[in-house]
Structure 1
C-alpha cells in the first residue's frame, strides 16, 4: 500500500497550534525534509511501529515508512499521548546501503534539524566509519567498525583508537556467542553470552549479576510464527535481574 506523506503525515501528527506563528519569518527548509512531500510505502512483512515501555507504562511509539525498494526512509517518534516528538530521515546510496541518519525534533509546528550520522563504507561494502554533525558545529568522528574474514563484526569502537571504549564480539560456528563491553582502560565492564533457539534465532543474552555469583538473562527475544521479532525484554543485572522495560514490534 502506497501512502502520500503529504496527506498522511498531517493525519498522524496530532499536534496543537500555538500563537501567531504564521506571522514569523520562515527558516530555510532542510533539504532532507523533501521526503515528506514524496511517496511512502507500507510493504507487508516490514515493521510498522515499535512501542517502548520502561518501569512506567508505555513511553512512546515509533512509526516506520519505506521507499519503493523496501528501505526504511522515515521514522516518526510519538509520545504515549500520540503527540509528535520528532522524526528520523534515513538516506541510502545506489546499493541500498544506509549512508545517513538525520534527526529532527518537532517544535512549534516545524521540524528542526538536530544531528546527522554519516556512514563510510569499505571496498567490500562494510560500514567502517561514522561521523556526526550538528548545526553550527564541525563534523566529528564517532564510531569505527571492524570485521572478520567472513564479514562478521568483531569490534564496534566509540572512536578511532584501539584503546577506545568498544563492544567486542566473539564467534562460534559462524554466529556470535559472546559480547564484551570494554572501557577505555581495557577493563571488561560487562560480558554477555548469546543463547540461541533450535531454529537459530537469538533467544537471550545472559550475563553475571551483581556480585558475579549468578548468571541470568539480561535481554530476552520473542518472535511470531513467521520468525519476526515481536518483543525485546530487558532485565537489570545490577538489581537482581529485575524487569526494566521492553520494546514491542508491530508489522504491516
Structure 2
C-alpha cells in the first residue's frame, strides 16, 4: 500500500492539517525534510511500529514508512498514547539499498530541528563500512567501523579505525552467527555471547558468559505464527539476570 505522508502525519499529529493564518515566511528547512512531501509506502509484512521500555513504562510508538523499493526512509517517534510527535529520523540509501545516512530531527512547536546525523562510507569492495557522526555544534567525526564477509555478514564492529582496537567479533556457523566476542585492545576476550536458534532456524536467545563463567539468557526473542519478530526481552547479567525491559514490534 502506498500513501501520501500528509495523510499519515495528520493522523499522528506530525503536521497541522489546517491552514495557518500567520503570513510569516517559513524558516529555511533541511533538504532531507523533502521526504515529508514524497509518496511513502506501508508494505504488508514490513514493520509498522515499535516501542521500548527499559525499567520504565513503555514509550510511545515509533512508526516506520518506506520508499517504493521497500527501504525504511522515515521513522516518526510519538509520545505515549500517540498524542504528540517527538522526533523523526530520515534515512538515505544508495543504489545498492544500503543505508548511507541517518538524520535525526527533534520536533517542537511545529518546527523540525536537525540535531545529529550518522554517515556511512563503504569501501569499494563493500567489505568495510566506516561511520561518522556530525551534529550542530561539532564537526563530522569518526565513530566506528563494520567489517563484512563476502556474503554480507557482519564479522566485526570496531570502535577504532585500526584492526587492533576494541571490538565485537562475530563467528559464523552454517551461514548464521553462532558466537559474538567482546574483544579488548590487548586481544583479550572480555565477554562472549552465544546465539541459540529454534528448530525452524529463528533466533531464540543470545546468551552471555563473561568473567564469572556463568551462562544465562541475556536476550530472548519471540515471534508470531508468521515468523515475524514481535518481542525482544532483555535481562541484566549483573543483577542476577533480572528482567530489565523489552522492545515490541507490530506489522503492516
Q: TM-score normalized by structure 2?
A: 0.89
What runs of 5+ residues in structure 1 fail to find an aligned partner? 17-21
Does residue 65 of the first structure (1) align with residue 65 of the second (2)? yes
CA contact (8 A) 1:116 1:133 kept: yes
Cα drift, residue 164 of structure 1? 2.8
Aligned CA RMSD, in angstroms, stands at 2.4
CA contact (8 A) 2:127 2:150 kept: no
Cα drift, residue 167 of structure 1? 1.0
Does residue 230 of the first structure (1) align with residue 230 of the second (2)? yes
What's the CA shift string for 1:79-135, capped at 9, x where partnerless? Answer: 224221100001112222211110111122211001111111233334521111112
Partner of 2:4: 4
Partner of 1:191: 192
Report the more deviating stretch, 120-129 or 49-58: 120-129
Partner of 2:55: 55
What's the CA shift string for 1:14-40, capped at 9, x where partnerless? Answer: 799xxxxx6877432000000111111
Partner of 1:182: 183
Partner of 1:168: 169
CA contact (8 A) 1:232 1:248 kept: yes
How many residues are aligned here? 248
What's the CA shift string for 1:220-242, capped at 9, x where partnerless? Answer: 01111221111100011111110
Residue 150 and residue 9 in structure 1: after superposition, are their counterparts in 2 closer, same or farther (change >3 A)?
closer
Report the more deviating stretch, 188-197 or 145-154: 145-154
* In 2, Cα distance between equivalents of 1:14 and 1:26: 16
Does residue 89 of the first structure (1) align with residue 81 of the second (2)? no
Partner of 1:33: 33
Does residue 212 of the first structure (1) align with residue 202 of the second (2)? no
Q: TM-score normalized by structure 1?
A: 0.89
Report the more deviating stretch, 186-195 or 93-102: 186-195
Does residue 153 of the first structure (1) align with residue 154 of the second (2)? yes
What runs of 5+ residues in structure 2 fail to find an aligned partner? 17-21
Partner of 2:136: 135
Aligned runs of 1:107-146 on 2, under 5 Å? 107-146=108-147
CA contact (8 A) 2:223 2:231 kept: yes
* In 1, Cα distance between equivalents of 2:31 and 2:226: 38
CA contact (8 A) 1:53 1:60 kept: no
